[in-house]
Structure 1
Amino acid sequence: MPAAYATIAVNNLDVSTESEIEEFHALTRLIVFAKENAALLDAHQTVYCLDLALEQITTELRHRDDSSPDIASYLQDVICRQ
């Protein structure tokens, strides 16, 4: 966790959590984009590593109890393509 988040006041916890989840959403989109491009380049090892990254983000979002429909569709599309 970045040092900036470590100093957030307790009463600002919900805002912090929402911000972190938004960042995870952005990371998910970035990783999906990179994975699709790596697949086009036949970079199998890279695709595998990006799959692992998506799995970890999914785990983290479940842990944070995020059920945003936009990211759920991204992750579902990735799972269907495998």
Structure 2
Amino acid sequence: MRAILVLLIIVVLVAIAAIALGFVNVSQTRTASLPTISVKGGSAPAFNVQTANVSVGVENHVVQTPTVDVKKP
């Protein structure tokens, strides 16, 4: 499997080098165009969504935190 992957990479690199050095010339002979599509009728889906009421408030609390003393020797 690894040998096939290495061989494929080598082939791609050789193709890129051939195009870059001018050994292979790629030119476009016909322009591309999108297909014509006709859409008639239909409707978008409808949804009824009910969500919970969320109230956000602020409360003040006193939190005791420990103190750390660092003493150098």
TM over 0.5: no
TM (norm. structure 2) is 0.32
TM (norm. structure 1) is 0.28
Higher helix share: 1
Q: Which is bigger in relative contact order (C-alpha 8 A, separation at least 6)?
A: 1
Larger radius of gyration, structure 1 or 2?
2
